[in-house]
Amino acid sequence: MADQEQEQRRIQVANARPEDAGRGLARIPVAVMAQLSLSEGDAIEIVGKRSTPARVVRPYKEDEGLDVIRLDGLQRANAGVGSGDFVAINRIDPRPAQRVVFAPAQDNLRLQGNPEALKRVFFKRPLTAGDVVATAGQQQVDRADMPAHLRQMLAAPAYALQEIRLVVVSTTPKGIVEISAETEVELRAEYEEPREARRADVTYDDVGGMAETIDQLREMVELPLRYPELFRRLGVDPPRGVLLHGPPGTGKTRLARAVANESEAEFFLINGPEIVGSAYGESEKKLREIFEEAAKAAPSILFIDEIDSIAPKRGQVTGETEKRLVAQLLTLMDGLEPRTNLVVIAATNRPEAIDEALRRPGRFDREIIVGVPDERGRREILGIHTRGMPLDPGVDLNELARTTYGFVGADLSALTREAAIEAVRRFMPRLNLDDGTIPPEALDELSVTRDDFLAAIKR
């Protein structure tokens, strides 16, 4: 694919901002653009373990002087890299596609296809078979100097009421193509196993208001999981246990999933109260089994939600079962072989309520606070949950972020869902439900308005 005439350029990967996510953009330094004779809107191929295309956009002002390429979580997964890794970039000329076949990348999703609408969503997007892509919908572009085709790509309408992840099953011709007005688009109804199933899963782009927390976790968990040899050579023991503390609904579980996905690690989840509720002797057995499973599947992350229910202070518990469960957990933590590439992340809302022995060195000896989001955080979270949603221009996410003081991520997610339901409710009378189809023109008029959000807040 690469134009052999062109110089290849190696460059380090950094995370995209959430508002760029799912749009097929790559922000690269102006100097690199000049070096490869690239203009904004040109297509490039990003080559890591695999290759994936993107359109070049100028860097953010704050990035001036930084030699990095900003890619979103899906792009990083498509290229088989994590942030911090190096990729090569080449200039390419995508060929117009005669045909592109998509399928839902999420296995719990069956799509009633409307290929014409999809064509508009991915218009001008460079695509290649095997990639996982998102229907991220419109991005507001306030720069008049942006080339028309890039602008057109960013003005893509929303496809459904929420962002949907799709696999590019095949393209004709093969290689990197772009959808044009003549392209025939097919949408398969059924899930198609992506090259690696977990690529359609949550990434760092899907957790809002947590830039610092993500940085901390990357250093503590992602890097050791990705580069165990490096840590061994340096003689540094990667942490075994990390304690996340913060109120419910602030995104701890989602964050742990994202770290697992981005570290290309398997994810295992233990729900504290569920384990405790098991029959006599069963709880310890379950705990042992899942530790064993996770160790076998390494690299992996074992997430223990509400660890305070499994490991309350032993002085304060009366039940024998609880005491044995704490003891079992300590034994399991201590028994982890240093070479086993497994990190246990535990979450609690009450760090003071857990057994102190758990927090000794070699156990849960790192702590990260996941707080209630501030206004900026709420704005970012709202951006994530309205990604791919057809928003009326009257919706001002900044205003919503201001007026939702005290809301955590889970509340904001529920709010956007409620607002969408409001919109559908308004829209219902205009649908012809008898023949079971929704004409694409009708869908174009479905949008979630400011009033829908206000109504949802009141509830």
Q: Is the CB of residue 415 less than 8 Å from the CB of residue 450?
A: no
- Tell me, residue by residue from 306 to 345, as one string, x for binding to ligand ADP by CB under 6 A and - for no binding: ----------------------------------------
Closest CA to 185 of 284, 266, 114: 114
**Closest distance to ligand ADP from the beta carbon of 274 (Å):** 14
249 binds ligand ADP (CB under 6 A): yes
**Closest distance to ligand ADP from the beta carbon of 396 (Å):** 19
56 binds ligand ADP (CB under 6 A): no
- Quote the CA–CA distance of 90 and 252 in Å, as a whole number: 38
For residue 8, the tally of other CB atoms under 10 A from its CB is 14
H/E run at residue 259: helix 252-262
From 251, 272, 299, 312, residue interacting with ligand ADP (rule: CB under 6 A): 251
For residue 425, the tally of other CB atoms under 10 A from its CB is 11
Peptide bond before residue 440 is cis, with ω within 30 degrees of 0: no
- Quote the CA–CA distance of 166 and 103 in Å, as a whole number: 5
Could you tell me the two tokens for 246?
């913060």
Q: Which is nearer to ligand ADP, 26 or 244 (CB)?
A: 244
# chain residues binding ligand ADP, by CB under 6 A:
17
348 binds ligand ADP (CB under 6 A): no
**Closest distance to ligand ADP from the beta carbon of 412 (Å):** 7
Q: Which is nearer to ligand ADP, 17 or 95 (CB)?
A: 17
Rounded to the nearest angstrom, the gap between the alpha carbon of residue 111 and the centroid of all alpha carbons in its chain is 21
261 binds ligand ADP (CB under 6 A): no
Q: How far apart are the first and last CA of the chain?
A: 53
Residues 6+ apart with CB under 8 A from 322: 276, 312, 314
- Quote the CA–CA distance of 277 and 27 in Å, as a whole number: 49
Strand partners, 32: none
Tell me phi and psi for residue 297, to 5 degrees: -85, 0
301 binds ligand ADP (CB under 6 A): no
Q: Which is nearer to ligand ADP, 317 or 410 (CB)?
A: 410
384 binds ligand ADP (CB under 6 A): yes
252 binds ligand ADP (CB under 6 A): yes
Q: Which stretch binds ligand ADP (CB under 6 A): 78-86, 124-132, 191-199, 242-250?
A: 242-250
Q: Which is nearer to ligand ADP, 214 or 326 (CB)?
A: 214
Four-residue CA torsion sign, 26, 27, 32, 36: positive
**Closest distance to ligand ADP from the beta carbon of 343 (Å):** 17
**Closest distance to ligand ADP from the beta carbon of 307 (Å):** 12
**Closest distance to ligand ADP from the beta carbon of 209 (Å):** 5
From 179, 207, 225, 343, residue interacting with ligand ADP (rule: CB under 6 A): 207
Residue type for position 141: V
Q: Which is nearer to ligand ADP, 124 or 252 (CB)?
A: 252
253 binds ligand ADP (CB under 6 A): yes
213 binds ligand ADP (CB under 6 A): no
- Quote the CA–CA distance of 442 and 257 in Å, as a whole number: 37
- Tell me, residue by residue from 392 to 431, as one string, x for binding to ligand ADP by CB under 6 A and - for no binding: -----------------xx--x------------------
From 48, 208, 239, 390, residue interacting with ligand ADP (rule: CB under 6 A): 208
Q: Which stretch binds ligand ADP (CB under 6 A): 1-9, 35-43, 250-258, 358-366?
A: 250-258
**Closest distance to ligand ADP from the beta carbon of 7 (Å):** 39
Residues 135-154 that bind ligand ADP (CB under 6 A): none
DSSP assignments along 378-436, one per residue: HHHHHHHHTTTS-B-TT--HHHHHHTTTT--HHHHHHHHHHHHHHHHHHHGGGS-TTS-
How far are the Cα atoms of 168, 304, 350, 389, 410 from residue 23, in angstroms, in the given order?
A: 15, 33, 39, 14, 24
Q: Which is nearer to ligand ADP, 1 or 269 (CB)?
A: 269
250 binds ligand ADP (CB under 6 A): yes
Contacts with ligand ADP, residue ranges (CB under 6 A): 207-210, 248-254, 347, 381, 384, 409-410, 413
